[in-house]
Amino acid sequence: MPLPDALDSGKGLLVSGVLNPEALGALSPGQWDVLIRQARLSRLLGRLAMRFNECGLLASVPVGPRQHLEWAIARVNTQTEELRWELSCIEEALAGLDVPVILLKGAAYHVADLAFARGRLFGDIDIMVAPESLPRVEAALMLKGWANSHHDAYDQRYYREWMHELPPMQHIRRGTTLDVHHSILPPTARLKTRPGLLMDAAVTIEGCFFKVLAPEDRVLHSATHLFFSEGEMAGGLRDLLDLDGMVRGFSGGEDWQRLLRRAAETGLERPLFMALHYLDHLVGTPVPGDVLDQVRHHYPAGLAGAVLDWGMQVSLAPSDTLDRGVLQRLSEWLLIVRGHWQKMPLHLLMMHLGRKALVRQS
């Protein structure tokens, strides 16, 4: 496995630590200091810790950083138990409806038992159902204690008319949050897809009530989520490393061709190219050259492309601190503007932002 960049740069440390901890060798206390902090800020500490544990390297880590890795493993174990319980509660609420319920992202990777998801820390559970079963699903969840967290009439309309999900639902006793989707992109977004295609291809997992997206659709969804949602990239590197794990699971040229065909069918070639481009550039993921060639023309050309590329490179690189410099803040701002631009047509966006600026939340 090729190691990107010099090991003394922060980026090289964190990516190598997660992908190939054996190659790290002995680190100085100062390097450990950078690695642990960057992993925590990039939400990769759990994954880093599980990798060290799997490789039998934990015992060789100096005691200071080792205890952070061990604490992260404890946090992962607790999350796993809580997730199992939460999923059983969702199943209990929805089992009687006889509609397919698809898990997305973190929870899906967990039930599909994907290697890269071991130690992946995440917050909310995301599910997707067909638009026509949305009212019944929402009602069934409410009967079991999930309540709408946004009571403002405008917020309700914002989600229900323009977004690809219901307003987030929160369980009144456990306080856990559930996002119920009916698509992977807002209907208002510039990028269009057909969620029905993804739902029809979703696969079952033995012994599990929930379905998950097909392997190539998981790649497309993760890429779309990373590059075509709000533009907030705090967990960007973590999501990029999810994508790395998914495509490393591909067994050969046929899997890649299926992914390309699927991207064309679903209209998700642009997110796919961006994902493959940054996997190739920033992570060193083995992406076949002919595959990169086939999707390259989907990247914006000229100045717009160069600015976007700069913003993405800055935002996807691990950082020592959440304290942003001027350039980082500029790139974040650019990506958020781009995210909103992608999300809604201009007239809707102006109305939405105008309202958010003028009407203060009580």
Partner 1 sequence: MDGVGDIPARDFRALVADAGVIIRFGRFAFRLRSPVEHLADEVHRMYRYHPVSLEGFADFHVEVRPPRTLRRWFGKQLEFHVDGSSSFFPLPHAQAFPLLEWGLNWCVHDAVKDCLILHAAVVEKDGKALLIPAPPGSGKSTLVAGLVHQGWRLLSDELAPLALDGLSVEGLARPISLKNDSIDLIKGLVGEDAFSETVRDTVKGSVALMRPPRESVLSVRRPATPAAVIFPKFTRGARPVSQGLGQGAGFALLMESAFNFSVLRRRGFEALADLVARCECYEIGYGSLDEGMQLVEDIHAAA
253 binds partner 1 (CB under 8 A): no
Q: Using CB under 8 A, which of 41, 97, 191, 292 touches partner 1?
A: 41
75 binds partner 1 (CB under 8 A): yes
Name the minimum Å distance from CB 356 to partner 1: 18
CA 199 to chain centre: 18
Letter string b/e over residues 253-283, b meaning 16 or more CB atoms within 10 A of that residue's CB: eeebeebbebbeebebbbbbbbbbbbbbebb
Distance CA 236, CA 43 (A): 9
Distance CA 164, CA 181 (A): 6
Q: Using CB under 8 A, which of 1, 71, 88, 91 touches partner 1?
A: 71
Q: Which is nearer to partner 1, 29 or 289 (CB)?
A: 29
Cα→Cα distances 179→6, 238, 269, 348, Å? 40, 20, 25, 23
17 binds partner 1 (CB under 8 A): no
Q: Which is nearer to partner 1, 81 or 230 (CB)?
A: 81
Question: Taking contact as CB under 8 A, which single stretch among the options 136-144, 167-175, 305-313, 319-327 is the one that binds partner 1?
Answer: 319-327
Question: Taking contact as CB under 8 A, which single stretch among the options 25-33, 95-103, 158-166, 177-185 is the one that binds partner 1?
Answer: 25-33
Give the neighbor-by-neighbor strand order of the sheet with 169-171: 146-148, 169-171, 177-181, 125-128, 102-104, 211-212, 203-204
Q: Which is nearer to partner 1, 41 or 307 (CB)?
A: 41
Judged by CB under 8 A, how many residues of this single chain contact partner 1?
A: 25
CA 269 to chain centre: 17
Q: How far apart are the first and last CA of the chain?
A: 53
Question: Taking contact as CB under 8 A, which single stretch among the options 199-207, 247-255, 317-325, 350-358 is the one that binds partner 1?
Answer: 317-325
58 binds partner 1 (CB under 8 A): no
Q: Which is nearer to partner 1, 33 or 280 (CB)?
A: 33
Cα-Cα-Cα-Cα dihedral sign, residues 241, 182, 186, 293: positive
Q: Using CB under 8 A, which of 81, 92, 200, 290 touches partner 1?
A: 81
Distance CA 223, CA 167 (A): 23
Q: Using CB under 8 A, which of 37, 51, 164, 262 touches partner 1?
A: 37
Distance CA 251, CA 187 (A): 34
Q: Using CB under 8 A, which of 32, 158, 299, 310 touches partner 1?
A: 32
321 binds partner 1 (CB under 8 A): yes
Name the minimum Å distance from CB 340 to partner 1: 22
Q: Using CB under 8 A, which of 320, 333, 351, 356 touches partner 1?
A: 320
89 binds partner 1 (CB under 8 A): no
Residue 14: closest CA among 219, 232, 320: 320
Residue 176: closest CA among 104, 97, 79, 72: 79
Distant-in-sequence, close-in-space partners of 98: CB < 8 Å, separation ≥ 6: none
Q: Which residues bind partner 1 (CB under 8 A)?
A: 29-30, 32-33, 36-37, 40-41, 62-65, 67-68, 70-71, 74-75, 78, 81, 319-323
